[in-house]
Structure 1
């Protein structure tokens, strides 16, 4: 029986594809037949050199280097997955966020997508086809004031940008969709659960429950797995989703409490 999902013949760029959901997406895309290029600031030992480019996407120079690598190595691109994102802002609410903290969050969570789209979309438009996936966050809908105000605002900006972009380029054959994860059980989040567990005098599962409680609960009872996020992205990037554009798809185990 032929596989339901098929990305054979697709040339794909997946940013931040060496850990977590990004690495899961790279693996799945390759398993489904895509030719994938991924990027991070440095290449881990377990990531093959082929299909990887080292770059700092928080800079204009880094984005330009990746766009050049896409053209040189892939000869163009059919799917771009903007996985890069995160937050390093300190706790303490709005008063703890300096101008530099705000710039850092925007440079990480918004500008890489804007710059890479600007460089790569003309080629997609020229070939009359393509898919852009912006990975946003449920925090654009339910920001946590203690530490992630700037992150949530940057992701909200990314979501609004993606919606506007879809209206401009969908008539030209390029679909633009958004994926909004909640808590994903990555290595980094497990380490956070372990640290919280030590502080609270409980075990790792107790630490996970602390994280879920901070989000107001997850009805599914667990975080999403990186592979589950990758599955959603692969579907949206495939021809099975050919009429889906301009929409945001939440994968959060039911965390967002509103319709």
Structure 2
């Protein structure tokens, strides 16, 4: 059976597009025939062929505005917007360790880039009567780790709720909005964390991975997801093959989140 995704000639903007899941999404879309703009704080030293890179600080309103303008100018419009950018640098210590500045930093990294870019780019999608917006949330919006990720989890939960509301508003006008909620993904940052935990505990890398999986309550699959696996899901959801999917959230976590 021919499973052409129907993406040739589409125009996409991917945030967080130089590492981890974002980089895998960029490669997938490029390989599917999409014209891709990839955004990150810094352009990579090694660039994917055929990809337009934009360096932008998406934690600021101006950075988001500059990125949107650059993408529209280069691509002439947007058909697919994938908001992958996110992360956390909050300290451990629970709620008491989270100052106003820490809360603001987490919101500006995990919620506001999507809000600002949607506001800048959705008008062009609505004008053409078509488009797909995919927001990468996290299983921590339902399974937070209170020692260090309370603010991150809350920001991702806000992103999820915002996305659902947005889908109700713009889907009748031709624009789909979908959420993808990964669990632990073996990105460059995840590998570095596992290596650090392994060194502290005097175990090997697999032992470091087990420490993380145990902290999550276990991963029934027995391993973290790979960036390409998450990217494959995102690529399908961005395609016309998923044309009836909107307003939904897809968990990809190896079974981490228990049934509620």
For this structure pair, what is the TM-score category when the shorter chain's length is used for normalisation?
Answer: over 0.9
Q: What TM-score does the superposition give when structure 2 sets the normalisation length?
A: 0.97
Distance 1:241 1:48 in 2: 26
Distance 1:13 1:254 in 2: 30
Structure 1 segments unaligned to the other structure (5+ residues): none
Distance 1:223 1:95 in 2: 30
SS of residue matched to 1:250: strand
Q: What TM-score does the superposition give when structure 1 sets the normalisation length?
A: 0.98
Q: Who is 1:17 aligned against?
A: 17
Q: Counterparts in 2 of 1:178-257, with a 5 A limit?
A: 178-257=179-258
Q: Who is 2:40 aligned against?
A: 40
Distance 2:137 2:23 in 1: 17
SS of residue matched to 2:251: strand
Give yes or no for contact 2:27–2:48 (8 Å, CA) kept in 1: no
Q: Who is 1:151 aligned against?
A: 152
Distance 1:121 1:248 in 2: 20
Q: CA deviation at 1:83?
A: 0.3
Query: RMSD of the alignment, in Å?
Result: 1.1
Distance 2:77 2:44 in 1: 25
Is residue 167 of structure 2 the alignment partner of residue 166 of structure 1? yes
Distance 1:225 1:148 in 2: 21
Q: Counterparts in 2 of 1:66-145, with a 5 A limit?
A: 66-145=67-146
Distance 2:172 2:57 in 1: 32
Distance 1:3 1:153 in 2: 38
Distance 1:4 1:24 in 2: 19
Q: Who is 2:63 aligned against?
A: 62
Q: CA deviation at 1:48?
A: 5.3
Q: CA deviation at 1:3?
A: 4.3
How many residues align? The count is 259
Distance 2:5 2:203 in 1: 42
